[in-house]
Amino acid sequence: MIQGKAYVLGDNVDTDQIIPAHHLVYDLDDPEERKLYGKYALSSVPSDVAGLPDGHIPFISEGADQSVFSIIVAGKNFGCGSSREHAPVALNMAGVKAVVANSYARIFYRNSIDGAYFVPYEWKIEGPKEIRTNNLIEIDEMRGELKNVTTGKVYKLGSLGEIADIIEAGGIFQYAKRMNMVK
C-alpha cells in the first residue's frame, strides 16, 4: 500500500519542468549533491499548471529538499520533452512514491521503471478531475485501486503487468540479476 498526499498536475508536464536543465550540474554519486535533485524537482512547472485546479501550490517548501507530496496525479503525456534521465531521479529524491497519469512519454516511463524510482501507474479510464492537491491518497497495489481517502472515492488503475517485478526487484539490472540474465 502506498499512502500520501496528492500533488495534482495537468497535461504535458515535460522533463525540463520536472528538473530544469540548469540543475543538471549535480553529481548523482555524491549523496549531498543528489539531494539537490529533490530540492529542485518540479521547480519549473508553470504556476497555471501546479496544483491544478487549485492554483499554484509549491511542490517543495522553501528550504526543504523533500516534498510533503508523495503521490503525483497527472494528465496526459507526463514526462514528455527530452530524454532526461535525471527527471525520475529528481522525483524520487523529492520523496515521490508513485505517479498516476493518463499517459506517459515513453522514454520517461522506461527510465522510471529501469531505475525503480517510483511506481508509474496509469488510470484504467481517464483520470478523475475531482482529486485535489493535498487530498490523502491510498494506492492498493494488490487490488489495482486508488482511493481518495479525503472524499472516499475509489478509482481503478491499469495493471502494472510485468513491470511490477522490475520495480519490486529495485530496477532493471537487479531484476536481470535475480532472473540469472547477468552475473
Annotated domain spans of the chain: 2-178
Tell me which fold the domain 2-178 belongs to: Aconitase; domain 4 (3.20.19)
Alpha carbons within 13 A on the beta-carbon side of 166: 20
Quick check: pTM over 0.85? Answer: yes
Share of the chain above pLDDT 70, in %: 95
- Cβ atoms 49, 73 nearer than 8 A: no
Q: What is the pLDDT of residues 47-75, one digit of tens each?
A: 666 555 555 688 888 888 899 999 999 99
Q: What is the pLDDT of residues 84-125, one digit of tens each?
A: 789 999 999 999 999 999 999 999 999 999 999 999 999 988
What is the signed CA dihedral for 137, 86, 19, 157, rounded to 10 degrees?
A: -30
Place of cell 527527471: 87
